[in-house]
Amino acid sequence: MGLCLMEPLIIFGAWALISLSLFNGLVLLWLGLTMFLAAEERQFGLWLILLGMVMAGLFFLSHTAILTDQLTPVAGISVNGWWNIGWLPVIVAPLLWYMLMLWYAGFWEKDNHALRWHRYPLTILVATTALLLGLHIFAHAVPSFDQIAVLDFSQTLRVSGIPVMLILFPPYMIVCVLLPIHAIQHPTPPRYEISSMARRRARPWLIRTSALLLVVSVIVAGFIGYVILEAQNAQHGSFGYAIFTLPLIAFDLGITSMIAAAIISLGQAVTAYEIFTGKTLPRRGFARQWYVATGIAAVVSTFIGYNLIFYTHFIYALFILAGIVMIVYALLSWRTFIYRDQIIANLHPFVGGQSLIQNMIDPEQDTLLPVQRLFESMCEQILGVTRAQIIPDKALSLLISTPLVYPIETEPSNMTVPDGNTIQQLNPQYHAGFHWAIPLWSVRGRIGVMLLGEKTGGGLYTEEEMQVAQTAGERLIDMFAGEVMVQQLVRLQRKRVTEQRVMDFQTRRTLHDRSLPALHEAILALSTAQDQTVHEIVSTLSGIHKEISNLIHTTPIFPAAEPAGDFISVLRGSIQNEFGGEFEYIHWQVPEKPVVIDSLTADILYGAVREAVRNAAVHGRGDNPKRALSLWVDVVIEDMLKITIRDNGIGLANDRRGSSGGLVLHGTLMALIGGSLSTEAAEQGGTSVHIAK
């Protein structure tokens, strides 16, 4: 058939049909290979996907070859050979689709109660597929293309004059695409709750794909029935070889278009939610590559279809195809540079200067910490989240009293920090509107958790966004703790300097205005004193001695560092000597083996223990100085050194030991060396202070 005899509408339909058929084959090939190569594990379902996509691509390759022979001037194509090859994927592909949807729905999982009955139709369909393949390969059950063109079924295996394949294949095809709809709607609960949201959002796309395939199957079955009726009513040879008329082209174009829509729907479910690759969350780059691949396939298939229809000279076709490849590559490079610039712009707040030194020197100059600005930048520009919060774990709770929140005007949530070492999906009804919990880690273990609300626009977080949120959150909480440490140390140091200056002034004033004149008077009195004045002189000197003794007693005495000695022995001796008279009993429960630690850690631990003991001695009796007060010191060495100081005083709620900066200062110092300090009410009454390193 020459092109000059074809109507323009037929030419346009042929061009669209060949281009669309080639587009389907290219997209299926890219989708199958990409999913298989990008998967974390080569599971059974991935092999099904690869085999199914290759078989479907093989069908559209044979379909394109047949269309090219019938609708273009190109010759030399073995139509009957491609026709026989094309029937192989046509037979196998429906079963592979059914098995793939069963695998997606969890048919091979243990708790598949809703899908257990599918093993019966699956067994029947597997046997039917084997039967159809055997009939096609060994029994010539499918008429050749030449026989189909003239509706001659005389040389085909028949039943009542109808080819066996045309009897068995339509119901087999319809059942294979009908049963997956039930499997998709009744999936087995996933192993990981985090992937349930992606599966729920992908389900409508898969149902749409199955529905389109079902419509195609019904239409094809109806067309096969129409062909059988025509064959029974027509005389052999009454039809010409050119069976591709305008109605038939329109019919084939409609079927191919619906299959293309099904492929696009499947690709959207696979790339946007990654339900087959083993990823718990989709990757942003995968969906972007899908759009690029479909665009390239559309351009290339349209050009090749045009070249086949209008028979452009071969050398010009190569020139144009090479130009298309370079243009596409240039566009990809351009988009890569734009994406790179966007990443750098989003990361600029994290790598730019944060004025940390200035905040250390003058922490009161800016009430909004740099880490809060970074947190807002991440939430707005990178994650696109409606609300978020970073809550420190107990080890940092003494340092960070208020969590980071976004938006800044949002009240912090008082919900319990979720446990777990992996990203968790939360129920927003029971977790203050938050949808995700991301654990934050450091070299010392878990340091906090980041809570994320719904994504702006109701979208789904990608795997890259979760990784960025976790990595940035870990840096933010470290920065936050560092900033709070520095600011607290600066404030406490300034307070200590001020107190030291006041103490020095009071000492100078006491010695200069009271002690020295009194001593001077005593000396004068002694120089002229008689026996009756000796008692008064001794009393005056005793008062002076008591004042100086009180000044000396309030100055803390730290032991010299002994790196090679037993820290517990040094600690026990110092506490017993300094505070032994303040308690009725000091009960020690310590390990038998010596505890040897470095001098810096020993100094910081000693200071923390001494502050806890001093607080118990000063505040434990409350307003009753005669109250019996005892102290218990327990030292345990497991995976770390844990020291517990407990008293039986008036209790944490009644004393004011937490209002001073001593515990805050020593808690900050403990955090600097990787330890922790916390206080709580003791079960037996009184107060317990827990120190761990």
Predicted local distance difference test score (pLDDT) of residue 367:
45
Residue 76 predicted with pLDDT over 70:
no
Reported as a pLDDT band with limits 50, 70 and 90, residue 351 is low
- Is position 296 within any domain? no
503, 409: one domain: no
Based on the number of CB atoms within 10 Å of its own CB, is 205 exposed (0-12), middle (13-18) or buried (19 or more)? buried
Average pLDDT over residues 342-348: 64
What pLDDT does residue 74 have?
A: 57
Higher-confidence residue: 519 or 620? Answer: 620
Alpha carbons 627 and 671: distance in angstroms, whole number: 34
In this structure, the strands spanning 586-589 and 631-637 are parallel
Greatest distance between any 2 Cα atoms in the chain: 158
Q: How many folded domains does the chain comprise? A: 4
640 or 120, which is more confident = 120
pLDDT beyond 90 at 255? yes
pLDDT of residue 236: 47
pLDDT, position 440: 86
What is the predicted pLDDT for the residue at 104? 82
Residue 523 is predicted with a pLDDT of: 63
pLDDT-derived band of residue 622, with 50, 70 and 90 as boundaries?
A: confident
Residue 66 in contact with residue 83, Cβ under 8 Å?
A: yes
Q: Is residue 597 part of a domain?
A: yes
**575 and 475 assigned to the same domain:** no
Task: Name which of 492-496, 603-607, 682-686 the model is least confident about.
Answer: 492-496
530 within domain boundaries: yes
Query: What is the share, in percent, of the chain residues with pLDDT greater than 90?
Result: 12
Q: Please report where in the chains the tokens 């999906």 appear, as a residue.
A: 425
Q: What distance in Å separates the CA atoms of residue 114 and residue 274, rounded to the nearest whole number?
A: 24
pLDDT at residue number 158: 83
Q: Are residues 476 and 495 in the same domain?
A: no
Q: Is a pLDDT exceeding 70 seen at residue 175?
A: yes
Residue 659's pLDDT is what? 47
The average pLDDT across 537-556 equals 59
CATH number, residue 647:
3.30.565.10
Residue-range definition of the domain harbouring residue 531: 491-553
Task: Compute the average pLDDT of residues 494-514.
Answer: 63
Of 481, 501, 533, which marks where a domain is finished?
A: 481
Residue 566, pLDDT score:
80
Final residue before a domain boundary, out of 291, 311, 328: 291
- The tens digit of pLDDT for each residue in 635-688 reads 998 878 899 999 988 876 655 544 456 777 788 778 777 788 888 887 777 888
The percentage of residues in the chain with a pLDDT greater than 70, rounded to a whole number, is 72
Query: What letter does residue 193 receive in the DSSP assignment?
Result: G
Specify the pLDDT at position 5: 41
C-alpha closest to that of 286 among 298, 277, 299, 297: 277
Same domain, 406 and 539: no
* pLDDT of amino acid 527: 62
Q: Are residues 237 and 146 in the same domain?
A: yes
Looking at residue 280, its pLDDT comes to: 55
Whether 301 is in a domain gets the answer no
Categorize the per-residue pLDDT at 477 as very low, low, confident or very high, splitting at 50, 70 and 90: confident
**pLDDT digits over 630-648, tens only?**
999 999 988 788 999 999 8
List the CATH number of the domain containing 434: 3.30.450
As a whole number, mean pLDDT of residues 81-109 equals: 87
Top mean-pLDDT range of 42-46, 314-318, 352-356, 384-388? 384-388
660, part of any domain? yes
Q: What is the mean pLDDT of residues 120-133?
A: 94
Lowest mean pLDDT of 178-187, 450-459, 478-487, name the range: 478-487
- Residue 456 contacts residue 473 (beta carbons within 8 Å): no
Residues with Cβ within 8 Å of residue 498, at least 6 apart in sequence: none
| Same domain flag for 403 and 263 | no
Looking at residue 551, its pLDDT comes to: 55
Q: What is the pLDDT of residue 607?
A: 82
Report the DSSP beta bridge partners of residue 450: 390, 438
**Do 141 and 110 sit in the same domain of this protein?**
yes
Q: Residues 499, 445: one domain? A: no
125-134, 289-298, 514-523: which has the highest mean pLDDT?
125-134
User: Who has greater pLDDT, 506 or 404?
Assistant: 404
Averaged over 44-55, what is the pLDDT? 81
| CA dihedral sign of residues 311, 316, 318, 320 | negative
Structure tokens at 401: 């009293």
The pTM (predicted TM-score) of the whole model is: 0.60
Task: Report yes or no on 406 lying in a domain.
Answer: yes
Q: Is the pLDDT of residue 355 over 60?
A: no
Among 291, 318, 336, which residue terminates a domain?
A: 291
CATH number, position 113 = 1.20.1070
Q: Is residue 160 part of a domain?
A: yes
| Region 688-692 average pLDDT | 90
Answer yes or no: do 496 and 631 share one domain: no
Q: Over range 96-122, report the average pLDDT.
A: 84
Q: Phi first, then psi: what are they for 385, rounded to 5°?
A: -100, 150
Q: Is the pLDDT reported for residue 221 higher than 70?
A: yes
In this structure, the answer to whether residues 540 and 573 fall within a common structural domain is no
With respect to residue 338, please indicate whether it lies within any of the assigned structural domains: no
Do 670 and 608 contact (CB within 8 A), yes or no?
A: yes
Among 3-7, 34-38, 180-184, whose mean pLDDT is lowest?
Answer: 3-7
Preceding omega of 407 cis (within 30 degrees of 0):
yes
Q: 375 with 256, same domain? A: no
Asked if residue 407 and residue 283 are part of one domain, the reply reads: no
- pLDDT tens-digit map of 150-167: 777 778 888 887 888 889
As a whole number, mean pLDDT of residues 219-244 equals 69
Confidence of residue 561 (pLDDT cuts 50, 70, 90): very low
Sheet containing 436-442: give its strands across. Answer: 404-406, 388-392, 445-452, 436-442, 424-425
